[in-house]
Amino acid sequence: MADELKRLVAARGNRKATITRMYNYIYAPGEKEPAVLKQKRDSLIKVFAEYTELNIDISLLDTTEENVEEVEEKYFDIMAYFSKYIDGDGGPSSSSQESSFHLPRIQIKSFNGQVGDYQSFISLFISVIGKDKKLNDCEKLYYLKTYLEGEALDLIKHLPLTATSYVNALNLLKQRYDNKKQVINHHINLLLDMPGMTKTTAVGLRNLVSLTKQHIGALQSLGAPTEHWSLIVIAILQRKIDQYTLRAFHIEKQSNDDLPKLDDFLLFLEQRASALEAIGGGTGDSSNRRSSLVLLMFVHFWIQEAKFHLC
């Protein structure tokens, strides 16, 4: 067993030295031929795969940890260099490059295990990294780990950097976070926990409407029967708005015996915000007297418009 371990360690050292030499080569001064770089890239991919497999074999015989992170960083630095100087010549056509040249780089926000953020994270990651044909599965796994934090990273951080581990990592994340019931509960709790308003402000009203629409939209996409939740959501929102807006809503409601709908209530809040902005009350610094004036103007406008639609 000792001889086998020595052989494996020596073989790993050989691969590690090859990666280091290639790292030094790309940062050495002087021009590099694209054809030579392509050959070195193919060789590097093979050497790194062998290095990873040797690490796995050695770990079964010896628990001493290798500084894998250092080698991985060098490997991906080299691959980034290759992508820049090889694919820049022999990659996409000049017309397609030209059309996308000025597009801003897509930023993938790190995922820390919040179930409500999983779908947007994994969709963007698969689109930007997962479907990139220039990357092999080892590289995709490396990038996946760099975009994870906290509980999500703990879930896959001990997976070896191999091609099969990338698929396993995606499956582990899916099993843990692709849970419709948890995501629905997450958005319902966010609705309940939205901060309340103490002042009549256009910004506060618009933020409340925007957050409500976002969470209701997310719940609808998850199949929740939100079309039957109007009264419940309105009751939640009534606890969030200021007393002047709440009073205006009750005055308006007295002119109509129909049960209120969520869309109508949100429209009420948006028009209330517009009225505040129209007289300069959108900053939240207006006095109660000014707020009361806005209230009377707005209620009058709302009731008159409601009567117009009934005629």
Q: What is the C-alpha to C-alpha distance for residues 279 and 294, in angstroms, rounded to an integer?
A: 8
Q: What Å distances lie between residue 146 and 97, 112, 140, 150, 259, CA to CA?
A: 27, 11, 10, 11, 50
* pLDDT of amino acid 100: 45
Structure tokens at 31: 């021009």
List Cβ neighbours of 103 (8 Å cut-off, separation of 6 or more). Answer: none
* pLDDT of amino acid 156: 92
Residue 52: closest CA among 160, 136, 137: 160
* pLDDT of amino acid 138: 86
Q: What's the half-sphere exposure (Cβ side, CA atoms, 13 Å) at 109? A: 9
Q: What is the C-alpha to C-alpha distance for residues 16 and 49, in angstroms, rounded to an integer?
A: 11
Q: What is the C-alpha to C-alpha distance for residues 70 and 40, in angstroms, rounded to an integer?
A: 20
List Cβ neighbours of 232 (8 Å cut-off, separation of 6 or more). Answer: none
* pLDDT of amino acid 309: 47
Q: What is the C-alpha to C-alpha distance for residues 119 and 176, in angstroms, rounded to an integer?
A: 12
* pLDDT of amino acid 211: 92
Cα dihedral across residues 250, 256, 257, 259: positive or negative: negative
Please tell me what DSSP assigns to residue 111: B
List Cβ neighbours of 208 (8 Å cut-off, separation of 6 or more). Answer: 194, 197, 237, 240, 241, 269
Residues of the chain with pLDDT under 50: 89-101, 284-289, 307-311
Q: What is the C-alpha to C-alpha distance for residues 221 and 215, in angstroms, rounded to an integer?
A: 10
> pLDDT digit string (tens) for 227-247?
999 999 999 999 998 888 888
Helix (H, G, I), strand (E, B) or coil at 148: strand
Q: What is the DSSP string of 240-269?
A: TS-HHHHHHHHHHHTT--SPP-HHHHHHHH
* pLDDT of amino acid 290: 52
Q: Are 20 and 77 in contact (CB under 8 A)?
A: no
Residue 272: closest CA among 290, 248, 255, 289: 248
Q: What is the C-alpha to C-alpha distance for residues 192 and 211, in angstroms, rounded to an integer?
A: 11
* pLDDT of amino acid 174: 92
Number of H helices, E strands in the chain: 15, 0
Q: Are 195 and 240 in contact (CB under 8 A)?
A: yes
